[in-house]
């Protein structure tokens, strides 16, 4: 299996604090990888570095062989990396349909003049965008909700819409930041199945941050564990779960336990 994303010696410092310190790992093409660690370990910071929201202090990020650490966020998205957010960020006042339609914009190439003059190319490409939006919403089971204002959707469906919007970019790598946060076990189970299906259907690689251990252990083929910005462990779910350092980071050391 080839590598779709490779982080090499990635470091991010905010003033004197190293939020991410010399982290290296690979995401395999077509796989689902997990990024776990206690609160404040630097997981979301790594997502922000990959997507260009933060500038890298040291190290490199290679996406399908091309370095991306100096590019603008929208360029990185255009190359095929998209994400969802820990605290859902939808276009709240827009309908479900318009949320996805907006994100499809990259599939159309018409310019500003063509749009203002409503030239044939505009009409043709707009029709295609709408078709693409319809089919995405249908695949993701949101076809009965197209008219709902995103803000009014129930929580679980908002998560689903956010993933649908990310898929509208035809990404090669999907970054999911705590997709199951605030979900009950039933919804988490549904989500796990959805992630698996989406990956196969869209031929994606997925990197997921999660606290739900059952979700991580259930879907991920490879897990990278962080603690205080540093790599703690890296391997298959079984290897990671049996790593004494990981157990310590999550459950505390023996001495701490005695105190409790």
Decide: is 73 part of the binding site for other proteins (CB under 8 A): yes
Residues binding other proteins: what is the number (CB under 8 A)?
Answer: 45
> Nearest approach, Cβ of 227 to other proteins (angstroms)?
27
**φ and ψ of 46, to 5 deg:** -60, -40
- Write the interaction track for other proteins spanning residues 228-257; mark x where CB under 8 A is met and - where it is not: ------------------------------
CA-based nearest residue to 156, from 171, 138, 141, 175: 141
- CA torsion, ordered 218, 219, 224, 227, to nearest 10 deg: -50
| Segment near other proteins (CB under 8 A); pick from 14-22, 58-66, 79-87, 133-141 | 79-87
Decide: is 56 part of the binding site for other proteins (CB under 8 A): no
Applying CB under 8 A, among 2, 117, 186, 258 the residue interacting with other proteins is 117
> Nearest approach, Cβ of 165 to other proteins (angstroms)?
7
Applying CB under 8 A, among 44, 45, 82, 133 the residue interacting with other proteins is 82
Q: Which residues contact 205 (CB under 8 A, 6 or more apart)?
A: 4, 5, 27, 28, 29, 30, 31, 32, 33, 172, 173, 174, 199
Applying CB under 8 A, among 39, 65, 66, 112 the residue interacting with other proteins is 112
Applying CB under 8 A, among 168, 180, 233, 249 the residue interacting with other proteins is 168
Task: Indicate the residue among 151 and 203 with the shorter CB distance to other proteins.
Answer: 151
Contact 68, 62 (CB under 8 A): yes
Residues near other proteins (CB under 8 A) are 51, 53, 72-74, 77-78, 82-83, 85, 89-95, 98, 101-103, 105-106, 108, 110, 112, 115-118, 122, 126, 129, 145-149, 152-154, 165-166, 168-169
């Amino acid at each position: 299996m080839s590598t779709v994303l490779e982080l090499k010696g990635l470091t991010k410092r905010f003033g004197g604090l190293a939020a991410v310190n010399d982290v290296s790992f690979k995401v395999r093409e077509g796989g689902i990888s997990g990024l776990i660690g206690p609160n404040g370990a630097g997981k979301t910071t790594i997502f922000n570095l990959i997507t260009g929201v933060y500038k890298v202090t040291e190290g490199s990020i290679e996406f399908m062989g091309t370095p991306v650490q100096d590019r603008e966020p929208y360029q990185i998205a255009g190359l095929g990396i998209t994400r969802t957010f820990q605290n859902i960020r939808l276009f709240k006042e827009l309908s479900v349909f318009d949320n996805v339609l907006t994100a499809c914009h990259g599939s159309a190439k018409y310019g500003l003049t063509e749009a203002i003059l409503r030239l044939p190319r505009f009409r043709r490409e707009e029709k295609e965008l709408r078709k693409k939006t319809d089919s995405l919403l249908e695949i993701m089971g949101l076809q009965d909700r197209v008219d709902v204002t995103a803000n009014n959707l129930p929580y679980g469906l908002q998560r689903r819409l956010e993933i649908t919007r990310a898929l509208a970019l035809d990404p090669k790598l999907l970054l999911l930041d705590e997709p199951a946060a605030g979900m009950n076990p039933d919804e988490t189970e549904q989500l796990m199945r959805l992630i698996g299906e989406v990956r196969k259907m869209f031929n994606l690689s997925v990197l997921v941050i999660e606290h739900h251990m059952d979700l991580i252990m259930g879907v991920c083929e490879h897990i990278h564990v962080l603690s205080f910005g540093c790599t703690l462990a890296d391997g298959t779910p079984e290897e990671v779960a049996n790593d004494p350092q990981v157990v310590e980071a999550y459950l505390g050391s023996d001495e701490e336990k005695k105190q409790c």
